Structure 1
Amino acid sequence: MPQTLKELAASLGAETLGDASISVDRLAEPLEAREGDLALAVAPKFAAHLKASGARAAVVWPGANLTELGLDGAIVAPRGRLAMAGLTQQMDRDLAFGGQAGIHPSAVIDPSAKIGAGAIIGPFVVIAAEVHIGANARIGSHVSISRDVEIGADAVLHSGVRIGPNVVIGHRCIVQMGAAIGGDGFSFTTETPSNVERAVRARGEPLDPMDGTWHRIHSLGGVVIGDNVEVGANSTIDAGTIRATRVSDGCKIDNLVQVGHNVVLGADCLLCAQAAVAGSAVLGDRVILGGKSGVADNLTIGRDVVVGGGAIVLGNVADGVFVSGHPAQPTHEHRAGQKALKRLTQQ
């Protein structure tokens, strides 16, 4: 539905410039914007693109001049990406669930499952025994939910999500397509010390043959996910061995991320694509893992740590440190080492 600049600005707590009665029905990048669009030109670097577009209205930076930009109206956004968060929410057409209501007749639901008021259950969903689905939750097509699972109110599970047994997912969580939560952890042992253990002690000596049979350690602990968590497409969160793997409130997990068994993620952690956290690692609140970074097993990462893209953490990290490299070290030390190495190669 079209919305006026005044209405959109009010939802953001933002100011308008020029004609606030202009209606827009779509968000667009500055160069591609047409009349009827709201161009997202949140920084001066987009000025030239905005001038070349057909847009009458835009989201602009503080101090922008409407006449110079060829605009009739604008919303002023001191923090552009924050404005984008609010605007994309307001303009989302909800195509994944739009028009759906209630329980689709093709869904297979155990009689003992409890479905909250207002929940949407899509086509070909399978819900096992003793599952509780909260009010207004939305479950997309081809989702499978194992027994003894609890899903909170207003949660969204997109198509193809797989939920293992003994999983708790909090309120307002979003799980993107193809994610798997609650699968068994990667946990095996050998009758005698394994090659990993022997290699550490061998100090470079060749290893003698051994009985390498791996004995499975079953995962009985499940997963507990807090409120307002998002899990990206094709990401995996393994069940704990005895206690639950835990993902605290507000965590955001990108696509293709692996969270191992018994891991604990503190509140508001951000894990970028292809990051991996090995079993029993503990991350403090607000830890950020850059893309393709990794954390070895049984480590403790302090609060407010930033792990740079591609970094591999092989030891504990204190609170508030920015680390980079392989093995990860404080970023200023890593950069100094890289510069020194470059100087050596240039001699």
Structure 2
Amino acid sequence: MPHTIRNIAKALNAEAEGNLDLMVGATAEPAAAGPEDLALAVDPKYADGLAQGAARAAMLWQGADWRALGLEAAIFAPRGRLSMAHLSRMMDPGPAIAPGIHPMTVIDPTATIGDGAAIGPFVTIGAGARIGANARIAPHASIAEGAVIGDDALILNGARIGARVVIGDRFIAHPGATIGGDGFSFVTPEVSGVEEIRHTLGLREEIRKQEWVRIHSLGSVSIGDDVEVGVNSCIDRGTIRDTKVGNGTKIDNLVHLGHNVQVGRDCLLCAMVGVAGSVKIGDRVVLAGQVGVSDNIFIGDDVIAGGGTKILSNAPAGRVLLGYPAVKMDLHIEMQKALRRLPRLAKTVAELQKTVAKDG
């Protein structure tokens, strides 16, 4: 649906100049923008692209000379990426899920469906489940028995919500996300090799045959409000207590949270993060791509871990971490500088050894 520049600026709480009645129907990068598009050029480095495209209106950086850029109208973004977030929400039509309940669904008679819900075909909803008002559930999703999902949720294609999972309002599950799978918990009748080497730090008296006995997960998963879980991510239910995710936390694609993990509020867990069982993560923690977290440790509030970091021990609040094993980022940088000097150092030592040997 087209929008006027005036309405977009009002929705973004931003200033606008020029022809405010100009209509735009989509967004585009500056060089690819057509006359009906709003070009996104929130940084001066994108100015050259405007000359290559055909946009009549653009979202620009503060202080930009929109007339000199050949535009008819402009919106000035006080904080570019934040304005883009609001604009993208305004322009996103969302998935095409027809209002009401599709006839090709299987909903247990004891389930409760909130007012205004939209449920697509081939969805299954188990006994005693409760779906909040205005929830949207895309085709092939499944909601198991006893699950509770809050208002305004969006459950996309093929997502799986397990038994007794409790989820707050405005939750988003992307395709293939699985919430409430069984935890990976096993034990051996005798002391296992893993237990032994944890105690001895790698020494083994003997290698014995062993078999694994399954520990069933009796807990479930509890998720707060405004949480998002990415494509093919998995959150295991707890062994006894629930695995928990706090309000406002965003989880990227291919993330795994093990059983009993506790994640605080407003955390950001990026792609391929793996968090082992019984880890407690504080508020506003950022784990970049491929971060790994060892089991049974604590990560304090406001910790930031760079890509590929492996956290093997407790991390105090506010610490910035990098590397394997994780160390403070400034120390990791110094270590990498020293590592790059090793070949030259080894050559110097070899030359000194020759000199000493010759003089001796």
Within-5 A mapping of 1:19-38: 19-38=19-38
| Matched residue, 1:65 | 65
Question: Aligned equivalents of 1:343 and 1:62: distance in 2?
Answer: 45
Q: 5+ residue gaps in structure 1? A: none
In the alignment, structure 1 residue 117 sits paired with structure 2 residue 127? no
Within-5 A mapping of 1:1-347: 1-94=1-94, 96-98=95-97, 100-202=98-200, 204-206=202-204, 208-347=206-345
CA contact (8 A) 1:180 1:235 kept: yes
Question: Aligned equivalents of 2:203 and 2:222: distance in 1?
Answer: 43
TM-score (norm 1): 0.97
Question: Aligned equivalents of 2:102 and 2:202: distance in 1?
Answer: 61
Q: 5+ residue gaps in structure 2? A: 346-360
CA contact (8 A) 1:225 1:248 kept: yes
Question: Aligned equivalents of 1:151 and 1:115: distance in 2?
Answer: 10
Question: Aligned equivalents of 1:93 and 1:146: distance in 2?
Answer: 28
Larger radius of gyration: 2
Q: How many residues align?
A: 345
CA contact (8 A) 2:268 2:284 kept: yes
Q: Which amino acid aligns with 2:21?
A: S
CA contact (8 A) 1:233 1:256 kept: yes
Comparing 197-206 and 282-291, the one that deviates more: 197-206
Comparing 62-71 and 273-282, the one that deviates more: 62-71
Q: Which amino acid aligns with 1:39?
A: A
In structure 2, the CA distance between the partners of 1:257 and 1:85, relative to structure 1 (3 Å rule), is: same
Comparing 189-198 and 260-269, the one that deviates more: 189-198
Comparing 335-344 and 27-36, the one that deviates more: 335-344
Per-residue CA shift, 1:97-152, capped at 9, x if unaligned? 35x01000010011000001110111000111000000110111001111010000
Return the offset for 1:344: 2.2
TM-score (norm 2): 0.94
Question: Aligned equivalents of 1:45 and 1:6: distance in 2?
Answer: 25
Return the offset for 1:206: 4.9
Per-residue CA shift, 1:232-264, capped at 9, x if unaligned? 010000000000000000000000000110000
Question: Aligned equivalents of 1:168 and 1:204: distance in 2?
Answer: 41
Question: Aligned equivalents of 1:164 and 1:261: distance in 2?
Answer: 14
CA contact (8 A) 2:280 2:299 kept: yes
Question: Aligned equivalents of 1:346 and 1:238: distance in 2?
Answer: 48
SS of residue in 2 equivalent to 1:68 = coil
Per-residue CA shift, 1:23-65, capped at 9, x if unaligned? 1000001110010100011100000001111000000001111
Return the offset for 1:86: 0.7
SS of residue in 1 equivalent to 2:100 = coil
CA contact (8 A) 1:199 1:207 kept: no
CA contact (8 A) 2:307 2:322 kept: yes
CA contact (8 A) 1:273 1:290 kept: yes
> Which consecutive segments of 4 or more residues in structure 1 shift more than 3 A?
200-207
Return the offset for 1:308: 0.6
Comparing 220-229 and 193-202, the one that deviates more: 193-202
Per-residue CA shift, 1:278-322, capped at 9, x if unaligned? 100000000000000011111100000001100000000001010
Q: Which amino acid aligns with 2:174?
A: Q
Q: Which amino acid aligns with 1:173?
A: F
Q: Percent identical across equivalent pairs? A: 53
Q: Which amino acid aligns with 1:47?
A: A
Return the offset for 1:204: 4.8
In structure 2, the CA distance between the partners of 1:102 and 1:28, relative to structure 1 (3 Å rule), is: same
Per-residue CA shift, 1:135-189, capped at 9, x if unaligned? 1101110011110100001011001001111100110000000000000011111
Question: Aligned equivalents of 1:279 and 1:73: distance in 2?
Answer: 54
